[in-house]
């Protein structure tokens, strides 16, 4: 089992973003809400996977083999995981809001 010291910098940033977003979700929704969005991170070796769970549904947001974060050439950096995950969550939520039942 990996400890925090075993993680690379990208994995540490991803873990920190997931923790921060989960805290924000808990502040926004009631703790006992069955539809409470929960971000989940799985780290296996050099691979990182991030999902969003909402009411028993898993939405895969990130996988390190298919990194689709925005890359900024001028600074030679990717967008932060926090910004990326918030954007993915907002896009998912907006697409659900468009569905009229």
Quick one: which of 32, 36, 74, 66 has its CA closest to 52?
A: 36
First and final C-alpha spacing in the chain: 45
Number of domains in the chain: 1
Distance CA 40, CA 59 (A): 10
Q: What pLDDT does residue 86 have? A: 95
Domain boundaries, position 76? 4-97
Q: Under a CB-based contact definition with an 8 Å cutoff, are residues 48 and 63 in contact?
A: yes
Distance CA 39, CA 5 (A): 22
Q: What pLDDT does residue 82 have? A: 97
**Whole-model pTM?**
0.84
Mean pLDDT by 10 residues, the chain (101 residues): 77 95 87 82 92 89 93 95 95 79 59
Q: What pLDDT does residue 19 have? A: 96
Q: Under a CB-based contact definition with an 8 Å cutoff, are residues 43 and 11 in contact?
A: yes
Q: What pLDDT does residue 2 have? A: 63
């Amino acid at each position: 089992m990996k400890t925090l010291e075993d993680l690379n910098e990208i994995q540490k940033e991803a873990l920190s973003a997931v923790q921060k977003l989960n805290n924000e979700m808990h502040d926004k929704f009631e703790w006992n809400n069955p539809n409470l969005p929960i971000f989940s991170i799985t780290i296996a070796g050099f691979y990182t996977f991030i999902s969003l769970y909402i009411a028993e549904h898993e939405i895969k947001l990130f996988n390190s083999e298919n990194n689709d974060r925005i890359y900024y050439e001028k600074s030679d950096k990717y967008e932060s995981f926090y910004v990326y995950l918030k954007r993915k969550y907002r896009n998912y939520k907006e697409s659900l809001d468009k569905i009229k039942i």
